[in-house]
Amino acid sequence: MFPFSKFDPSKIDLSKFDRAAFKMPNFDVPPFDPGAAEAATARGSKGAGDRAARMKDAMARFRRAQGAALAQWTEACRTAAEAPAAARHDGPTLDMEAPKAAGGAWTAPDQAGGPKPEAGPDLSAMMRALRETLPGAFPAGGAPAGRGAPVTVPPGARFEERTFADAAGSRRYKVYVPSGYRGQALPVIVMLHGCTQNPDDFAAGTRMNALAEERTFLVAYPEQPQSANMQRCWNWFSSGDQVREGGEPALIAGIARSVVSEFSADPDRVYAAGLSAGGAAAAILGATYPDLFAAVGIHSGLACGAARDMPGAFAAMKGQGPVPGRNRRAVPTIVFHGDGDRTVHPVNGDQVVAQAMPDSGLAEAVSRDTSPGGMAFTRTVRSDGAGRPLLEQWVLHGAGHAWSGGSPEGSYTDPRGPDASREMVRFFLAQAGDPEARG
């Protein structure tokens, strides 16, 4: 998903703001130069009274033009606000469009059917540009944080907000405590949302809380604020956020440890999973904290070190970045990626697998099947001598950039695919020898 760097208003150079670059409509506001107007008045007038009258007339013309421009701007904003929610977005963050019917899948724009709209002024780009060049002039908030879907909490369970802070900063997070919790040492799964999402939205889309209720484990959902990234993406492309004991990896690891401490969870059964930017962050956790995370799940993400800056991020997302090296310590990894993903090139899924590959040989089994929803997939499982799966790769044929088998109650999901959440939970619990988790 498209990354956006941290925003510093103090570095804005208003002289370089180009309206044409953002397709801003021409409101025909004539530039007003009081000096030039006064000089013209002086040349044609015979006295102070005439000069005052001409200046007043010039000001009146300018105010009329200004009022007309404001009316055009208000109408443009009203039209944008009344557009269907599925047709609006705040930047090309993902390659998916919302389902048009209940229970439908998020689809790529060219799969949705129907005529393509005619090109016109990019109002969302205009608003972003104006927010960035004129801080405080427009309501705060930026990109919408997910769909705001309500999360149902069954009797006896809890879904509560917490805040973690250390030398690296602070982050809010939500933790799901299943109704079956009685103080026993439970597994913990850390779920990392994608760009523009939030914990509630991600919980609704992945249905991970329902699985936690069914299998009795804890779930933590760290939240990326807009102050850290304009589109609420995890900064996987920043070199400072790819290291141990620093940046976002330290914050997420701190959240995981806090949950273990607060709920007396099992420190040997802590896992992380994420979508897109969150998937890339999960890959970074596997590389930087192999002593904390017993396994990781990467859905439509990238390998640790796939990029070190913004230009490198766009190259990596197109499948044109450098090939990251292998991790020093292999962590069991499960990968889901659609071969029709136009936001994060499918080659990135292969690179995640290659990065997590242990040195010793593994038995490999390849199977092909179709999900109940009609999506074909290829599953490759690499297991150790005891039959424990250490690497799984699910290639989703025809799928775009969305959580496979997810609920339409959350954003960026494709209900047609195999259930990525359930398969990740199975893979995670299998690392601890759970006999029910072998698949």
Please choose, from the candidates 295, 263, 296, 261, the residue with its C-alpha nearest in 3D space to the C-alpha of residue 180: 263
pLDDT at 421 over 90: yes
Of the pLDDT bands very low, low, confident and very high (cuts 50, 70, 90), residue 432 is confident
pTM above 0.85, yes or no: no
Please choose, from the candidates 437, 41, 11, 402, the residue with its C-alpha nearest in 3D space to the C-alpha of residue 205: 402
pLDDT at 93 over 50: no
**DSSP SS3 for 345:** coil
pLDDT score for 94: 42
Could you read off the pLDDT of 128-161 as tens digits, one per residue?
443 333 333 333 334 445 555 578 999 999 999 9
pLDDT score for 26: 47
**DSSP SS3 for 123:** helix
pLDDT at 316 over 70: yes
pLDDT score for 260: 98
pLDDT at 335 over 80: yes
pLDDT score for 99: 53
Exposure class string for 38-59: b at 16+ Cβ within 10 A, else e: eeebeeeeeeeeebeebbeebe
Could you read off the pLDDT of 387-397 as tens digits, one per residue?
999 999 999 99
Of the pLDDT bands very low, low, confident and very high (cuts 50, 70, 90), residue 36 is low
Of the pLDDT bands very low, low, confident and very high (cuts 50, 70, 90), residue 339 is very high
> What is the domain partition of the chain in residue ranges?
9-133, 158-437
Could you read off the pLDDT of 65-84 as tens digits, one per residue?
556 555 554 554 454 444 44
d(CA 375, CA 23): 39
Mean of pLDDT values over 290-311: 97
pLDDT score for 359: 75
pLDDT score for 360: 77
d(CA 56, CA 302): 62
Tell me how far apart the terminal alpha carbons of the chain are, to the nearest angstrom. 30
The fold of 158-437 is Rossmann fold (3.40.50)
Least confidently predicted of 123-132, 139-148, 413-422: 123-132
pLDDT score for 57: 76
What percent of the chain is modeled with pLDDT above 90?
61
pLDDT score for 378: 98
Contact 238, 302 (CB under 8 A): no
pLDDT at 22 over 50: no
pLDDT score for 5: 52
pLDDT score for 101: 56
Of the pLDDT bands very low, low, confident and very high (cuts 50, 70, 90), residue 3 is low
